[in-house]
Amino acid sequence: MRFHVLTLFPEMILNGMSESIIGRAIKNEYISLNVVNIRDYSDNKHMKVDDYPYGGGAGMVMQAPPVVAAYESIVDNMNLDVTKKKPRVVYMTPQGSVFNQDMAQDFAKEEDLIFLCGHYEGIDERALEMIVTDHVSIGDYVLTGGELPAMVVMDCVSRLVPNVLNNEESAMFESFYDGLLEHPQYTRPVEFRGKRVPDVLLSGNHKKIEEWRKEKSLERTRERRPDLLEKKEKEKKENGNS
CB 189 → ligand 6GU: shortest distance, Å? 40
Contact partners, residue 119, CB within 8 Å, separation at least 6: 8, 9, 62, 144, 145, 146
CB 6 → ligand 6GU: shortest distance, Å? 14
In the complex with ligand 6GU, the residue whose CB is nearer, 82 or 142, is 142
Collapsed DSSP state (helix, strand, coil) of residue 203: coil
**Is 59 among the residues that bind ligand 6GU (CB under 6 A)?**
no
In the complex with ligand 6GU, the residue whose CB is nearer, 143 or 190, is 143
Q: Which of residues 90-109 bind ligand 6GU (CB under 6 A)?
A: 92-94
In the complex with ligand 6GU, the residue whose CB is nearer, 10 or 146, is 146
CB 151 → ligand 6GU: shortest distance, Å? 11
> How big is the site for ligand 6GU, counted in residues (CB under 6 A)?
12
Q: Rounded to an integer, what distance in angstroms lies between the CA atom of residue 187 and that of residue 125?
A: 53
Site string for ligand 6GU, 177-216 (x = CB under 6 A): ----------------------------------------
Q: Rounded to an integer, what distance in angstroms lies between the CA atom of residue 41 and that of residue 47?
A: 8
In the complex with ligand 6GU, the residue whose CB is nearer, 12 or 138, is 138
Q: Tell which phi-psi region holds residue 140, choosing left (phi > 0), alpha (psi between -120 and 50) or beta.
A: beta
Pair 200, 212: CB distance under 8 Å: yes
CB 51 → ligand 6GU: shortest distance, Å? 19
CB 132 → ligand 6GU: shortest distance, Å? 12
Q: How many CB atoms lie within 10 A of CB 16?
A: 17
In the complex with ligand 6GU, the residue whose CB is nearer, 59 or 139, is 139
Q: Rounded to an integer, what distance in angstroms lies between the CA atom of residue 3 and that of residue 186?
A: 36
**Is 16 among the residues that bind ligand 6GU (CB under 6 A)?**
no
Stretch that binds ligand 6GU, among 40-48, 64-72, 86-94, 170-178 (CB under 6 A): 86-94
Collapsed DSSP state (helix, strand, coil) of residue 76: helix
Determine the residue type at 41: Y
Question: φ, ψ for residue 29 (rounded to 5)?
Answer: 65, 30
First to last CA, the chain: 38
| Sign of CA pseudo-dihedral 101, 103, 106, 107 | negative
Q: Which of residues 127-166 bind ligand 6GU (CB under 6 A)?
A: 137-139, 141-143, 145-146, 149
Provide the binding-site residues for ligand 6GU, judged by CB under 6 A.
92-94, 137-139, 141-143, 145-146, 149
